[in-house]
């Protein structure tokens, strides 16, 4: 029977980034996904690398700023390995903040009305605002590029069948079992996002937190080349994320709705109205699509990274609203951990063991 060094449960951006990184370190890697890789939360995301956001949890600042710094090199390597670009945009963010919020990064600068209109002429919203040196990617393109890079490097994939169980022998993880087959691996990593709790005999305590998001596109015949705005714009009501091909994303709700991924037409209209309130020209665009995804949230809202109470069985999940941003650093640190090297960063705070021996 074939044996892999590492079996990764879940081919979202977290599992795919880790698979690619592990393979480049020489490990034999198998990714198993219940559906098509890259099609769950990672397909739904806006793609902001929002390391300056005032709501960044203090415990996450070091990880988040480390990941944001890694992004340009991560993307360069990904383009080399896949031949595809995830549309990394480094024009920055304009954020409207309430009086009590301060940006979480250095090099943020307050903007007055003149600077606002110089930077983003079609943005008419006014208020306490900052330029933040952030970036964004297109998470769908990122997922596609990661799949291609991983395959080209020799990562194996099993798709369309859910892992039900981590196989444990003599107290150590030795593989995974789907409904149909068993796969042997010296280490197993649970990257199953909002479904990570469903693994036997030991789930990771994530729950789904629904997010709805809207995509608007230029009307046919529009003379605008590229997006109407260059920066990501964040207001308390909506965030507006331009893509280089002219699409603009308007996000997002944060809802406790179980595994429901339905889209509510009133929510779509509300997000669109809020965006038009900030950038009136968005009224001239067409609502192309709207969708919902399930963010993986842990009980304390922090990622779950590290070895579980079962030796050889690891978790890399619970990235909640930050999984796109945290993918490079997660892949880097988990590669170090799984291959037996010390990690550059102390992961104790994020250990699955903080939830007790049942994880
Ligand atoms: C609307 C919205 C906007 C967002 N915007 C941003 C943003 O701007 N910036 C940011 O950083 N983050 C953002 N996020 C959060 C981000 O999308 C997630 O944190 C990230 O995608 C989590 O990645 P993941 O790989 O852990 O999970 P997923 O992408 O959900 O991947 C998990 C994978 O596991 C598979 N799986 C599940 N169970 C099994 C099983 N039993 N066997 C095999 N496979 C299984 C699934 O099929 C899936 O492919 C947003 C999320 C949403 C919903």
The Å distance, Cα 314 to ligand 1 centre, comes to: 17
Tokens matching residue 148: 């291609």
| Range of weakest confidence among 90-94, 108-112, 236-240, 339-343 | 339-343
Which of 38, 35, 19, 30 is CA-nearest to residue 323?
38
The yes-or-no verdict on residue 300 having pLDDT over 80 is yes
Between 226 and 217, the more confident residue is: 217
The yes-or-no verdict on residue 224 having pLDDT over 80 is no
How high does pLDDT run on average in the chain? Answer: 97
Q: Which residues pair with 314 in a beta bridge?
A: 189, 307
Cβ-contact 133, 105 below 8 angstroms: yes
* Residue limits of CATH 3.30.9.10 in the chain: 93-133+208-297
Would you tell me how many other CB atoms lie within 10 Å of the CB of residue 126?
13
Would you tell me how many other CB atoms lie within 10 Å of the CB of residue 19?
32
Q: Is 149 exposed, middle or buried (0-12, 13-18, 19+ CB in 10 A)?
A: buried
The yes-or-no verdict on residue 357 having pLDDT over 70 is no
CATH topology classification for 93-133+208-297: D-Amino Acid Oxidase; Chain A, domain 2 (3.30.9)
Q: Which residues pair with 129 in a beta bridge?
A: 96, 111
Rounded distance between C-alpha atoms, residue 168 and residue 33, angstroms: 20
Residue 57: which residues within 8 A CB-CB, separation 6 or more? 301, 302
CATH architecture of 3-77+140-206+299-355: 3-Layer(bba) Sandwich (3.50)
pLDDT of residue 359: 63
Which residues form ligand 1's pocket by a CB distance below 6 Å?
Answer: 9-15, 32-35, 37, 39-42, 44-48, 162-163, 191-195, 198, 211, 213, 251-252, 293, 295-296, 317, 319-325
The Å distance, Cα 112 to ligand 1 centre, comes to: 37
Across the range 7-28, mean pLDDT stands at: 98
The yes-or-no verdict on residue 225 having pLDDT over 90 is no
pLDDT of residue 356: 87
Cβ-contact 357, 313 below 8 angstroms: no
**Measured torsion, CA atoms of residues 6, 11, 14, 20, in degrees rounded to the nearest 10:** 60
* Residue limits of CATH 3.50.50.60 in the chain: 3-77+140-206+299-355
pLDDT of residue 222: 78
Which of 1, 338, 185, 201 is CA-nearest to residue 176?
185
Atom of ligand 1 nearest to the CA of 191: 26
The yes-or-no verdict on residue 209 having pLDDT over 80 is yes
Quickly state the pLDDT bin for 220 (edges 50, 70, 90): confident
Across the range 16-38, mean pLDDT stands at: 98
Quickly state the pLDDT bin for 172 (edges 50, 70, 90): very high
Atom of ligand 1 nearest to the CA of 209: 53
pLDDT of residue 64: 97
Is pTM, for the whole model, over 0.95? Answer: yes
Question: pLDDT of 130-162, one tens digit each?
Answer: 999 999 999 999 999 999 999 999 999 999 999
């Amino acid at each position: 029977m074939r044996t892999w060094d590492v079996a990764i449960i879940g081919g979202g951006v977290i599992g795919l980034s880790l698979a690619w990184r592990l393979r480049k370190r020489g490990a034999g890697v198998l990714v198993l996904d219940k559906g098509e890789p890259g099609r769950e939360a990672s397909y739904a995301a806006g793609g902001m690398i929002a390391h300056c956001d005032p709501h960044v949890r203090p415990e996450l600042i070091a990880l988040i700023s480390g990941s944001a710094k890694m992004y340009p090199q991560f993307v360069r390597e990904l383009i080399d390995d896949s031949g595809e670009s995830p549309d990394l945009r480094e024009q920055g963010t304009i954020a409207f903040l309430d009086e009590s919020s301060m940006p979480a990064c250095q090099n943020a600068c307050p903007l007055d009305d003149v600077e606002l209109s110089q930077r983003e002429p079609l943005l008419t919203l006014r208020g306490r605002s900052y330029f933040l040196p952030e970036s964004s990617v297109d998470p769908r393109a990122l997922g596609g590029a990661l799949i291609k890079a991983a395959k080209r490097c020799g990562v194996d994939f099993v798709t369309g069948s859910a892992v039900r169980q981590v196989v444990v022998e003599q107290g150590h993880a030795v593989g995974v079992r789907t409904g149909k087959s068993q796969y042997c691996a010296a280490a197993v990593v649970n990257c199953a996002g909002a479904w990570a709790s469903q693994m036997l005999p030991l789930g990771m305590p994530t729950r789904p937190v629904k997010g709805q998001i809207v995509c608007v596109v230029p009307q046919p015949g529009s003379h605008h080349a590229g997006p109407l705005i260059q920066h990501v714009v964040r207001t308390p009501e909506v965030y507006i994320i331009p893509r280089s091909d002219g699409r603009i994303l308007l996000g997002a709700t944060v809802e406790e709705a179980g595994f429901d991924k339905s889209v509510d037409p009133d929510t779509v209209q509300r997000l669109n109205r809020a965006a038009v309130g900030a950038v009136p020209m968005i009224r001239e665009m067409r609502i192309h699509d709207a969708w919902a995804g399930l963010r993986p949230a842990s009980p304390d809202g922090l990622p779950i990274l590290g070895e579980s109470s079962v030796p050889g069985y690891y978790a890399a999940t619970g990235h909640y609203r930050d999984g796109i941003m945290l993918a490079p650093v997660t892949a880097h640190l988990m590669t170090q951990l799984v291959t037996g090297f010390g990690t550059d960063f102390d992961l104790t705070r994020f250990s699955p063991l903080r939830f007790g021996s049942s994880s």
